[in-house]
Amino acid sequence: MHDSHSERMSGSETRAASGLALVFAFRMLGMFMVLPVLATYGQDLAGATPALIGLAIGAYGLTQAVLQIPFGIISDRIGRLPVIYIGLLIFAAGAALAANADSIWGVIAGRVLQGAGAISAAVMALLSDLTREQHRTKAMAMIGMSIGVSFAVAMVVGPLLTRAFGLSGLFWATAIMALLGIVIVAAMVPRASHPLQHRESGVARQALLPTLKHPDLLRLDFGILALHAILMASFVALPLALVEKAGLPKEEHWWVYLTALLVGFFGMVPFIIYGEKKRQMKKVLVGAVAVLFLCELFFWQFGNSLRALVFGTILFFTAFNLLEASLPSLISKVAPAGGKGTAMGVYSTSQFLGAALGGILGGWLYQHGGLSTVFVGCAVVCAIWLAIAVTMREPPYVTSLRLPLSAAAVADTGLVTRMLAMPGVADAVVVAEEAAIYIKVDSEKLDRTSLESLIESAPERAEA
């Protein structure tokens, strides 16, 4: 029994978390490496127009958004590994299709197919199967970090790879990375004895409707949709602005992104710490959206020299990294007990929809009005988001726990009521078919020992 409370992740948990984080990182690299280069290099493809280049940038988001939740549900039925292997093969096939394409339509088809390898829900579910409760947050954080790092690496490596091997070489590299992902899963990730039915890691049908009706969750879903729409649309315009306005050859763009991402990463850290420690996350969120809004206006009005564009890009990535890091943690704070997996499923579907819309919108705006129209369009999206973010409530500063229950405790009808009467417990729900209770707690106010003794005394009360 004591072993389950040991403070360090076991060897197999560490292997599972780092292996799956690598798979995630490789896949994200493949998605994002084209971002900084497609707007410039894509112009050489047959039939390329700005609107179609925008579609190629965002196309993966369409299939990803549609297939994300169904793939997760299928993985509950047929097992996580088959879904992950099939998804990575589909992704590699999409990359190979794009690598062989000589027209923009071929690249769009490849990106659509890449997105169809929608494995993130299955990867998250597998991670939950392979880690114990108290280490799950740590394991999820490793995946979150791997996504952040892969995004930064993609921004720098994408231009360097394309400079060396052209667009098709870039796509071949992403195909190879997807196949490497399969090798990593096969060689490194331990096998799960049986899939957990787990409300925090997968979409639960019962929780879907309440999630879609929850005003604060919807605000955050709109936020991630807007953030990725702004990102994709900005990357239809930024690489072109660097070439046209600043005269920076497309082969040199990597150092702009490297500088912006490094400064942006370290720039956001104090704000995250301040928001969490001082419990001022709403202020931090609204502030970052406002900075993003000002960035787009800055690009529109002053983005005419290299210095201005580099400065704007640094500010943009500071705000972007801050929002990208804080939105998921806000989702897990706001989601009702036992509803986190479902809330995250809807959230990532919104994120991919935003990427698709942003690419399409950015390309269309550029085609019909040039660079400044794209920046104005992004500023409008930001302004709408700002109006929505201002109305959100300060989130509860709570973490989620899932504790196993004995059969007698599951039958104890008064357990939730007594639990909610404890200081520090914000929400609780018993899920009988999992023989578990999901609790949202404020760890600064909660006495963990009395919580556990309350659960242990439940059977005695039920018998009495």
Closest Cα to residue 188, out of 25, 26, 12, 24?
12
Closest Cα to residue 242, out of 40, 54, 57, 379?
40
Closest Cα to residue 271, out of 261, 281, 263?
281
State the span(s) of the chain assigned CATH 1.20.1250.20: 12-189+207-390
Fold of 399-463: Alpha-Beta Plaits (3.30.70)
Output the pLDDT for position 199. 67
State the span(s) of the chain assigned CATH 3.30.70.100: 399-463
Fold of 12-189+207-390: Growth Hormone; Chain: A; (1.20.1250)
Residue 436 β-bridge partners: 404, 431
* Position 388, amino acid: I
Long-range contacts of 451-459 (CB under 8 A, 24+ apart): 451/419, 451/422, 451/425, 452/403, 454/415, 454/418, 454/419, 454/422, 455/403, 455/405, 455/409, 455/415, 458/405, 458/406, 458/408, 458/409, 458/412, 458/415, 459/406, 459/408, 459/409, 459/412
Angle at 205 between CA 141 and CA 402, to 5 degrees: 45
Distance CA 239, CA 234 (A): 9
pLDDT in tens, the chain (464 residues): 334 455 788 888 899 999 999 998 998 898 899 999 999 999 999 999 999 999 999 999 999 999 988 898 888 888 889 999 999 999 999 999 999 999 999 999 999 999 999 888 888 888 888 888 777 778 877 887 888 888 889 999 999 999 999 999 999 999 999 999 999 999 999 987 776 666 666 777 777 888 889 999 999 999 999 999 999 999 999 999 999 999 999 999 999 999 998 898 888 889 988 988 888 999 999 999 999 999 999 999 999 999 999 999 999 999 998 998 888 888 888 988 888 888 888 998 999 999 999 999 999 999 999 999 999 999 999 999 999 999 998 888 888 888 888 888 888 888 888 888 888 888 888 888 888 888 888 878 888 888 888 878 766 655 55
Output the pLDDT for position 296. 97
DSSP-based three-state secondary structure for 394 = coil
Distance CA 257, CA 156 (A): 6
Question: Torsions phi, psi of 300, nearest 5?
Answer: -65, -45
Output the pLDDT for position 3. 45
Output the pLDDT for position 2. 38
Output the pLDDT for position 461. 58
Closest Cα to residue 399, out of 132, 223, 139, 137?
137
Output the pLDDT for position 302. 94
